[in-house]
């Protein structure tokens, strides 16, 4: 019995073709595994993966960095979680308009719901962006040295995963999380066992260095996830 909650790009979709095949085949052989995609992508960007015969279909999908959560079978929102998130959201147009006051931010033209995503660079006044977000009842999440997401306060990958697990009444001791960038950071704040895959963002490696429940794998992507499954499997 295992719930695998994994980031996509650089994690579940990362590594060599052989490593991905090994992981995906292992997942298909597990009759009591619950697979959860936890990604920064918008739902529309995840949907093509569901039509890829090589990729196992998830039981649940958490996307938009935690701001959207749906059933993986019918893509219907998981309630009341989704409504609770939407109640906290200041609104796309308001957030985008206010954040345009921050120099160095460029809006990301990607599918997104209940969050507002930007690119940032060394000239960006992150402190100003954070202050404006706070005034709107939002948090700022930075990752990979160039992505900046504005989300409802308290909403992130880890918080939504925690609430989903409570909703479906899944044992917390049977959960394994996997990621590779700082927008996955909240997954490791949940107390669930976790693996940081190889070639991860250095800031995430440093952040989780002393987390006793987190394995730092030297192997990237799918191979790193398999390392985590082997490492923690004996105690799950």
DSSP track, 3-30: EEEE-IIIIIT-S-HHHHHHHHHHHHH-
Cα–Cα separations (whole angstroms), residue 121 to 84, 106, 189: 32, 9, 26
Residue-wise pLDDT for 69-109, tens only, equals: 999 999 999 999 999 999 999 999 999 999 999 999 999 99
Q: The pTM is what?
A: 0.96
CA torsion sign, 25 to 28 to 33 to 36?
positive
- Say how far apart CA 22 and CA 183 lie, in whole Å: 26
The region, left, alpha or beta by phi > 0 then psi within -120 to 50, assigned to residue 199 is left
Query: Given this model, what pLDDT does residue 236 score?
Result: 64
Sequence-separated (6 or more) residues with CB below 8 Å from residue 27: 4, 33, 35, 56
Residue the block writes with tokens 């959201």: 89
212-232 per-position pLDDT tens digit? 999 999 999 999 999 999 999
d(CA 162, CA 134): 23
> Which residue in 100, 135, 232 sits closest to 176, CA to CA?
232
Q: What is the mean pLDDT of the chain?
A: 96
Q: What is the pLDDT of residues 139-149, one digit of tens each?
A: 999 999 999 99
- Cα–Cα nearest to 225, from 24, 31, 12: 12
Tell me the domains of the chain and their CATH numbers. 2-85+155-233 (3.40.50.1000), 90-152 (3.90.1070.10)
């Amino acid at each position: 019995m295992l719930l695998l909650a994994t980031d996509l790009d650089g994690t579940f979709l990362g590594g060599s073709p052989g490593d991905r095949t090994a992981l995906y085949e292992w997942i298909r052989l597990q009759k009591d595994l619950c697979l959860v995609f936890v990604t920064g992508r918008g739902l529309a960007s995840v949907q093509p993966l569901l039509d890829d015969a090589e990729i196992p279909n998830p039981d649940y999908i958490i996307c938009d960095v935690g701001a959207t959560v749906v059933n993986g079978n019918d893509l219907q929102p998981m309630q009341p979680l989704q409504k609770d998130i939407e109640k906290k959201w200041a609104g796309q147009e308001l957030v985008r308009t206010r954040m345009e006051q921050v120099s160095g931010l460029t809006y990301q033209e990607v599918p997104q719901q209940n969050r507002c995503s930007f690119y940032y660079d060394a000239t960006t006044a992150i402190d100003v962006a954070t202050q404006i977000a706070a005034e709107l009842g939002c948090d700022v999440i930075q990752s990979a040295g160039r992505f900046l997401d504005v989300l409802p306060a308290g909403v992130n990958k880890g918080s939504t995963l925690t609430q989903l697990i409570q909703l479906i009444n899944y044992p917390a001791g049977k959960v394994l999380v996997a990621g590779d960038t700082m927008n996955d950071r909240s997954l490791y704040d949940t107390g669930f066992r976790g693996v940081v895959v190889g070639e991860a963002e250095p800031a995430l490696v440093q952040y989780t260095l002393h987390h006793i429940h987190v394995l730092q794998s030297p192997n990237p992507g799918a191979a790193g996830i398999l390392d985590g499954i082997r490492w923690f499997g004996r105690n799950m």
